[in-house]
Amino acid sequence: MIAEHRVLTTGQLTALAFGNVITARHRLALLVRIGVLRRFRPLREVGSAPWHYVLGPVGAALLGAEDRDERKWAPQVRADRQLALERSQRLAHMIGANWFFVSLAAHARTGVGQLRQWQGERATAEYLYDQARMAAWELEVSPHPDGLGIWAEAGTDIVFLLEYDTGSEHLPQLASKLERYAHLASNNMAFQVPILFSFLTPRREQSARRALDRHPGSSVLQIATAAFDPAVTCPAGPVWMPLRGWAGRPMRLIELDQVLPDPWRQARERDERERQERERDLAQARARQHGPQASSAGVAPAGDAYGPYRPLHADPTEKEAPNANDSPRLAHRPERG
């Protein structure tokens, strides 16, 4: 988990894997002593920051042996990179974006809902873009969401891209992201899923909503906004307002699917209807040809043609998408376009 998302705090790890903070501190201190993890506290002008945990050399070696690639995680434990991360101006942004998904995962631990997918910024970019074929400048100007998630609740689910805002960007710069999002959405279904803009204050959210609404790209994208601190408030709650097409109360995360439909679900439902029609036609043809006793022989058993739910997959023979506790990479890319 820490290796995939680079840095997590004591509070985040407690919410993800422990019953209380005392147990978490003891276990994490032990992992630091044996070299599985390293930790640091960024400097604050007032008060002290919580411990921030990153991958340690022993942890990198263990993961490398598990992946059969000793060099895979080695760059993460270089002292210069970890020092740069400790002093990075984006550290607070990374921690805030991680809190968004940590809050969902902690909410799921109570038995309400399931975080089926959590990908950080790097893994999301690897999924969205064919980086081997893209020029460096093209990749640089393309939007880089802060995460990709799949939240399931009450028998349905929603796939989303996260744009976590700390208020450091000027509003025109924030709104300009929609131009590239809209261009990519025109020929890539991965960009047609809801884009969630998460802000820290209601004032920032209202100003951003006006800027986003004025941009032409917002007319072809599925956008929702909210203002809350994910370290305090769970994103699964009634905090979301679609940018267009809704003027009622704030919606829960799973309710956004009513206004911002999942393109993959629509494709799956269409394919399922076609499958059922084919099976019915086949059964009727055999009944006419061989009589009523053969009407049920050789007919494929009823059920989901796709088997268990496979988010973001078009091929039903592909492997099921990994759980949020596993590697956050999707097992396969859907066919673009």
- For residue 38, the domain's CATH number is 1.10.10
Least confident among 29-43, 108-122, 199-213, 275-289: 275-289
Residue 331, domain member (yes or no): yes
- pLDDT (mean) for 163-175: 94
Which two tokens mark 151? 């939240």
Quick: pLDDT tens for 80-113: 888 889 889 899 999 999 999 999 999 999 988 9
Which of 58-62, 272-276, 302-306 holds the top average pLDDT? 58-62
Looking at the fold, whether 283 and 248 belong to one and the same domain comes out as no
Of 37, 66, 88, which one is at a domain's C-terminal end?
88
What is the pLDDT, as a whole number, of residue 300? 45
Question: Beta partners for 198?
Answer: 164, 226
Give dist(CA 165, CA 148) in Å, integer: 15
pLDDT bracket for residue 322 (50, 70, 90): very low
Asked whether residue 95 is assigned to any structural domain, the reply reads yes
Are residues 219 and 250 located together in one domain of the fold? yes
Among 32, 57, 88, which residue terminates a domain?
88
For residues 161 and 236, membership in a common domain is answered with: yes
Query: Positive or negative, the Cα torsion across 108, 114, 120, 121?
Result: negative
Say if residue 178 is in the same domain as residue 274: no
Residue at a domain's end among 88, 108, 132: 88
Residues 201 and 113 occupy one common structural domain? yes
Q: Distance (Å, rounded) from C-alpha 86 to C-alpha 118?
A: 23
**Per-residue pLDDT at 200 exceeds 50:** yes
Query: Would you say residue 300 lies in a domain?
Result: no
> Residues 282-296: what's their mean pLDDT?
71
Domain shared by 245 and 256, yes or no:
yes
- How far is Cα 171 from Cα 138, in angstroms, rounded to an integer? 22
| Residue ranges making up the domain that contains 56 | 1-88
Identify the weakest region by mean pLDDT among 190-199, 242-251, 289-298.
Answer: 289-298
Residues 110, 79 within the same domain? no
Same domain, 31 and 120: no
Q: How far apart are CA 328 and CA 61, in angstroms?
A: 20
**Tally of domains within the chain:** 3
| Type of residue at 127 | Y
**Burial code of 208-225, b = ≥16 C-beta within 10 A, e = fewer?**
bbebbeebebbeebbbbb
Name the DSSP class of 227: E
CA distance 14 to 106: 9
Same domain, 176 and 206: yes
The answer to whether position 79 is within a domain reads yes
Query: Number of H helices and number of E strands within the chain?
Result: 11, 9
Write a three-state SS string for 261-288: CCHHHHHHHHHHHHHHHHHHHHHHHHHH
301 found inside a domain: no
Residue 40 has pLDDT above 90, yes or no: yes
The C-alpha atoms of residue 183 and residue 187 are separated, in whole angstroms, by 8
Residues 82 and 28 grouped into a single domain: yes
Give 115's strand partners: 151
- Domain shared by 54 and 122, yes or no: no
Q: What angle do CA 158, 160, 161 make, to 5 degrees?
A: 175
pTM of the model: 0.77
Angle between helix 202-214 and helix 171-185 axes, rounded to 10 deg: 50
Confidence of residue 275 (pLDDT cuts 50, 70, 90): confident
d(CA 306, CA 316): 5
Distance of CA 101 to the CA centre of its chain: 8
Domain match, 96 and 147 both: yes
